[in-house]
Amino acid sequence: MAPAPLHILHVDMDAFYAAVEVRDNPALRGKPVIVGGPARSRGVVCSATYEARAFGVRSAMPSAQAARLCPQGIFINGRMDRYLEVSRDVMAIFRSFTPLVQPLSLDEAFLDVAGVERLFGDAPAVGRRVKARIREELGLVASVGVSFNMFIAKLASDLEKPDGFVVIRREEMEKRLDPLPVSKLWGVGPKTDVELERAGYRTIGDVRRAGHETLVRKLGGLGAHIGALARGEDVRRVEPFWDAKSIGSERTFERDLSGLDALERELLPLAEDVGSRARADAVAGRTVQLKVRFHDFRTITRSRTLESPTDITREIYETARGLLRDRAGAKGARIRLLGIQLQQLAPAGAGQGLLFDQDRKRERRLDAAIDALRQKLGDEAVVRARTREKR
């Protein structure tokens, strides 16, 4: 197999939200910290320190289950504005090494470091420098994978967490990948994992040795996809302008809510969260989607496409509010969860439409001022009156 240059890094912050909380409050160091809904709530775990993970606590787990597994866990409500602020610092470190940075989320990104050898050394050297700067400047820990393509780099970053640093060269790829479970292949979720095991494929090595024709005959397009990954084939390139599909926020309520006034009041902080994240990422979206989960777990989504892309909190809120009133069937119903997503994202300012509307300019200046105050003074520095109205 021909040698391939190492030039891709995948950097993944370890237990990011929880790590930020511990950094900001050193009294939490060494303790099982769980970021998410309260222990006796119907919320979910967003992040957990490795002390909590030792008890089996995992992201996306119901908070009540996490509390049963780890009774001594310290539950903390998430601070998205704070995580956005720290994420920008992390991404700034990445971009100080290369402009080719593709964020996947607030806490992970791909870096293409081809061509920076004279400045910073080869790819493994850059990876070590990135880790060191994150630790020294931000007081946080990252795991880094280094390889010749994006799939292998991402897989490598996950192999020795936390505080991992793994380099996988093409000539050692089979030795490193073959023993790993098929669930490590992109696109293989729990259901696909079961399907592959029934077909006799338990490890990446099993998939690689099966050969392209056999995989396609047995599994169709899925077989072609996982076969290519098992052979270390990934032709994607790092795209510095991340094309995220959506930005969303949702909340599960302690008790079912009913009444449009109460539900609309809960929509506003969701719209604020979505708007602030869009502005932080310098994107705007044309479609607003509302998610409603009823008391019996029946879940619906309703969406509306706007004339122009928006990142304005008021516009996001008013659109979601209209969907709730007109199309969600929420009047008189008991609601368990509400969520808002901003979809069809594009760089902020793209498109003509209402770009020069003076009212929208004022709205943007207001949102920017609120974002700045909250980043400096905390989430409660500015509170919209609507969220404080009595039921």
Question: What confidence tens digit (pLDDT) does each residue in 263-277 have?
Answer: 999 999 999 999 988
Tens digit of each residue's pLDDT (9 = 90 or more) over 279-324: 877 788 999 999 999 988 888 999 999 988 899 999 999 999 999 9
Mean pLDDT of all residues in the chain? 87
Contacts 24+ apart (CB under 8 A), 305-309: 305/344, 307/353, 307/354, 308/351, 308/352, 308/353, 308/354, 308/355, 309/284, 309/285, 309/344, 309/345, 309/346, 309/348, 309/350, 309/351, 309/353
**354: pLDDT confidence band, cut at 50, 70 and 90?**
very low
Q: What is the pLDDT of residue 245?
A: 72
pLDDT at 391 over 70: no
Instruction: Give the pLDDT mean for 143-168.
Output: 96
Amino acid at 276: S
Q: Rounded to an integer, what distance in angstroms lies between the CA atom of residue 316 and that of residue 325?
A: 14
Q: Of 163, 123, 168, 166, nearest to 143 (Cα)? A: 163
pLDDT at 356 over 80: no
Q: What is the pLDDT of residue 223?
A: 83
Tens digit of each residue's pLDDT (9 = 90 or more) over 92-129: 999 999 999 988 878 999 999 999 999 999 999 999 99
**378: pLDDT confidence band, cut at 50, 70 and 90?**
low
Q: What is the pLDDT of residue 355?
A: 43
Helices 260-280/80-95 angle, 10° precision: 10
Q: Which residues are catalytic?
A: 108
β-bridge mates for residue 175, sequence order: none
162 upstream amide cis, omega within 30 of 0: yes
**377: pLDDT confidence band, cut at 50, 70 and 90?**
low
Q: What is the pLDDT of residue 244?
A: 60
pLDDT at 357 over 90: no
Q: What is the pLDDT of residue 157?
A: 96
Tens digit of each residue's pLDDT (9 = 90 or more) over 130-142: 999 999 999 999 9
pLDDT at 243 over 60: no
Record the pTM: 0.66
Positive or negative CA dihedral for 35, 37, 38, 42?
A: negative
Q: What is the pLDDT of residue 274?
A: 94
**326: pLDDT confidence band, cut at 50, 70 and 90?**
confident
Helices (H) and strands (E) in the chain, counts: 15, 12
**344: pLDDT confidence band, cut at 50, 70 and 90?**
confident
β-bridge mates for residue 104, sequence order: none
Decide the pairing of beta strands 142-147 and 165-167.
parallel
pLDDT at 352 over 60: no
β-bridge mates for residue 304, sequence order: 288
CA distances from 167 to 134, 135, 352 (A): 19, 20, 46
Positive or negative CA dihedral for 292, 294, 299, 300?
A: negative
CB 212 within 8 A of CB 197: no
Sheet containing 101-105: give its strands across.
101-105, 108-112, 8-13, 142-147, 165-167
**How many Cβ atoms from other residues are within 10 Å of residue 239's Cβ?**
12
pLDDT at 239 over 90: no
Residues shown for the chain: 391
**Helix residue ranges per DSSP H, 158-306:** 173-177, 190-198, 204-210, 212-219, 221-230, 260-280
Q: Rounded to an integer, what distance in angstroms lies between the CA atom of residue 5 and that of residue 70?
A: 45
Q: What is the pLDDT of residue 169?
A: 95
The domains found in the chain, sorted by start residue, are 1-173 (3.30.70.270), 178-230 (1.10.150.20), 246-388 (3.30.1490.100)
Q: Rounded to an integer, what distance in angstroms lies between the CA atom of residue 343 and that of residue 150?
A: 25
Tens digit of each residue's pLDDT (9 = 90 or more) over 40-71: 777 789 899 999 999 999 988 888 999 999 99
Tokens of 382: 């500015």
